[in-house]
Structure 1
Amino acid sequence: MSFPVQQKVQDVVRQYRPAKHFPNAKEGSYITSLDFDDQGEHLVAASSSDEMTVYNIKEGTKTKTIPSKKYGIHLARFTHHNRQVLFASTKQDDSLRLLELHNESFVRYFSAHTSQVTCVALNPGNDTFLSCGNDDLVCLWDLNSRSPQGKLKLITPYLAAYDPTASVMAIASQSTQSILLYDVRNFDKAPFATFDLADAERKYCPSTQGRVWTKLEFSNDGKWILLGTDYHGHFLLDSFDGVVSAFLTGKTDGSGRAAPVSTSGKPLGQGDVCFSQDARYVIGSSGGSGDLLVWDTTLAGNGTTLESMVKLNGRGFKSPVVQVNPRYNMLATADQKVVMWLPSDQIKNSDT
């Protein structure tokens, strides 16, 4: 697959279409997470069949599949070293593992959690990362050390994210309906801000308060925090004061994935919504149809209910996992298949 040298996201965002799809290696299994490396040249997909698959984006090919039958695999994340992948175990124990891709060997284990890891967030500036667990624990790690650099004991801290400057980390707690902001340099101190979402949840999604948060992400300009939910819509918050600038609507039903802890046998997921590369748009699943919705954040303000500006035809490919490429005008979605999306003019010109 080829990419244009320069095109603004606003010029192509309406043109995205499924360009190529790859079935999961094991029939009946589900992709539970997707992640691009820093250069946007590789994609890693974790599967409920206890394996990860790596794709070459420029060539539009599958490069290798690596099993993890003993430990399971979820939340596979490239580190800043694009031949290394960090992932959470789903079997035997609840540790994290760092894998060297070229020889498929483990570099290091990270053990502290005593229940399922629900989120892994890489620091954008260095080799530290955060993990959250169903044991009410948040851990701060360094990739070069097996022991956590710090721990926080909170109530349902299922989601975490770094801001783009790597100076602030946000922790989302479902049951307390709040987002806590910490100074990364003072990890062990009290949060410097707490955003209470209780009133917003009562207003926009009263029937599912504190139950269906699936995604926490800062925009890469630092202006917004995106809080994804599983059914009713998504919250777009001002990252400085926590005010809900918009509630993004249009989703017709749930993703069918755990949010983010599986209590009913649903496959795990990582959320079906994310920011575009330029932070102007939010892209997410419309629900069971597999179509994608695109919301324009420049229209947000004063708690408006914001409808999507366009619906992108998913051609029937379901999309409970959605991830945008950080470098190129393409994105990937997944359910039982990994689907790569390109602007329609690139599909016509592609030789794949």
Structure 2
Amino acid sequence: MTEDQQQAPAAPATQKVSDIINGYRPVKAFKTSKPETSYVTSLDFDDQGDYLVAAGDDEVIQVYDIKEGKATKSVPSKKYGVHLARFTHHSRQVLHASTKVDDSLRLLDLHNEGYVRYFSGHTDKVTCLALSPGSDSFISCSKDNTIAIWDLNSRHAQGKLNLSTPYLAAFDPSASVIAIASQSTSSILLYDFRNYDRPPFSTFDLAPYEEKLTPSTRGRAWTRLEFSNDGKYLLLGTDYHGHFILDAFDGTLKTFLTGKNGSPGRAAPVSTTGKPLGQGDSCFTPDGRYVIGGSGDQADVAVWDMHQITESNSSLQPMTKLSGRGRTAIIEHNPRYNMIASADKEILFWLPDENTETSEK
């Protein structure tokens, strides 16, 4: 890459994703602090898409400047470990789960590299963190079979829900609905966030779909729950077979995304295999039209087009596969720029330019 390309921001946000989706290529690679033995376990962009935060089992929080295309800060978390690092709406604050000592959540100020607040209450590992799109509220899922509702300004939980295996959760784009995925009951429950202490207003039963499409992993191996930004779809990612696309309003199966060639090699929340942690290997693009995801044990990134869903088509093959490098165990699309970040043992930045070559840092 030239110096100009390295300093330029990702592709302009005014370009339609559909115009450039076929042209993404990895253009930069960043290694972890222990490239031979450690894995990246989570990725997250800030609201403006200017920064990426990564966590890994090397117990380091790494921040990258997207416009500059370089790492800007490295914060060790050797005492507590780190997983599910998430930007709050304050771009210099990162919330993360712990992997050692206790199961508290911790709010880190990146400017002075000190902790602002601890959030204690879970008695087992946290499996998912979801921040409200419209406020400082957030929810955490845990292996202790609870969902906790928090506010960033208070160390005490605002409330708790006791459910069976509630390992994944997501806010809808309006921040008024939360979806909670319960693996062991093969169901997704929808709550009015303002009245979360009341019973769910809707429950989606996935047992029939699992029996048909993923019978060997029924009730387990769910890895990702996400609403599309247009509010139409709900993505339920799985570890191995593919991903469910549900109607976000009534829970009916719109299609099942196929084309993976095995597992991304990461632990689903209930895994006891000792695999590295992860946060799922699929996500929506900001326009809601595409899902991008890993191809299992291959280096390609699969792209599924939601416009290709038809009433008679119960499954959907990728419209294309993007040539990558190494396995894609985690993937996120920048919310503002046409740029993708993926990771396994290293982090890749992808831009829609067919003529660029990957450079290492």
Alignment of 1:193-212 (within 5 A): 193-212=202-221
Q: CA deviation at 1:264?
A: 1.4
After superposition, residues 20-169 of structure 1 pair within 5 angstroms as 20-27=28-35, 28-169=37-178
Show structure 2 runs of 5+ residues with no match: 1-5
Opposite residue 23 of structure 2, the aligned amino acid is: Q
Instruction: Please say if residues 11 and 352 of structure 2, whose CA atoms lie closer than 8 Å, have aligned partners that are also in contact.
Output: no
Residue 213 (1) aligns with residue 222 (2) = yes
Q: Tell me how far apart the structure 2 counterparts of residues 180 and 269 of structure 1 sit (CA, whole Å).
A: 23
Correspondence for 2:25 among 3, 17, 25: 17
Query: Is residue 226 of structure 1 aligned with residue 227 of structure 2?
Result: no
Quote the Cα distance in structure 2 between the aligned partners of 1:99 and 1:343: 33
Alpha-carbon offset, residue 77 of structure 1: 0.1
* Secondary structure of the corresponding residue to residue 85 of structure 2: strand
Deviations 1:153-198 (A, max 9, x none): 0000000000000000000011100000000010100000000000
**What is the deviation of 1:290?**
2.1
The separation in 2 between residues aligned to 1:205 and 1:317, in whole angstroms, is 26
Q: TM-score scaled by structure 2?
A: 0.95
Kept in 1: contact 2:25–2:354 (CA 8 A): no
The 5 A counterparts of 1:304-343 are 304-314=314-324, 316-343=325-352
The letter for the 1-side match of 2:318 is S
Kindly provide the CA deviation profile for residues 77-101 of structure 1, in whole angstroms up to 9, marking residues without a partner as x.
0000000000000000000000000
Task: Give the SS at the match of 1:77.
Answer: strand
Residue identity matched to 1:19:
V
Question: Is the Cα contact below 8 Å between 2:11 and 2:339 reproduced in 1?
Answer: no
Where does residue 280 of structure 1 map in the other structure?
289
Give the distance between the partners of 1:48 and 1:219, measured in 2 at CA: 29
Offset at 1:299?
Answer: 1.7
Mapped contact 1:248–1:307 kept (Cα < 8 A): yes
Residues 291-344 of structure 1 show CA distances to partners (whole Å, capped at 9, x for unaligned) of 100001112243621000001001x32110011100000010001100000102
| Alignment-mate amino acid for residue 314 of structure 2 | T
Further displaced range: 251-260 or 261-270: 261-270
Secondary structure (helix, strand or coil) at the match of 2:194 reads helix
User: Which letter maps to 1:209?
Assistant: R
Identity of aligned residues (%): 62
The alpha-carbon deviation at position 212 of structure 1 amounts to 0.6
State the match for 1:192 in structure 2: 201
Question: What's 1:296 paired with?
Answer: 305
Amino acid at match of 2:110: L
Query: 8 Å contact 2:79–2:101 — kept in the other structure?
Result: yes
> Given residue 270 of structure 1, which amino acid in structure 2 is its aligned partner?
Q
Q: Say whether 1:7 aligns with 2:18.
A: no
Shift of 1:288: 1.2
- Residue of structure 2 in register with 1:244 after alignment: 253
CA distance in 1 between partners of 2:307 and 2:291 (Å): 11
Q: d(CA) in 2 for partners of 1:14 and 1:80?
A: 31
Deviation digits for residues 190-213 of structure 1, max 9, x if unmatched?
Answer: 000000000000111111101110
Q: Distance in 2 between matches of 1:174 and 1:141?
A: 23
For residues 142 and 273 of structure 2, what CA distance do their matches in structure 1 show? 18
Contact 1:258 1:266 in 2 (8 A): yes
Secondary structure at the residue paired with 1:290? strand
Deviation at 1:20, TM superposition (A): 0.3
Q: Is the 8 A contact 2:132 2:171 kept in 1?
A: yes
Q: Distance in 1 between matches of 2:310 and 2:76?
A: 46
Quote the offset at 1:262 in angstroms.
3.9
User: Under a length normalisation based on structure 1, what TM-score does the superposition of the two structures give?
Assistant: 0.97
Aligned length: 349
CA contact (8 A) 1:262 1:268 kept: no
Q: Which runs of 4+ in 1 moved over 3 A?
A: 345-348
Helix, strand or coil for the counterpart of 2:280? Answer: coil
Hey, what's the Cα distance between the residues in 1 that align with 2:226 and 2:204? 15
CA RMSD of aligned residues (A): 1.3
User: SS of 2:155's equivalent?
Assistant: coil
Report the alpha carbon displacement of residue 145 of structure 1 after superposing the two structures with TM: 0.3
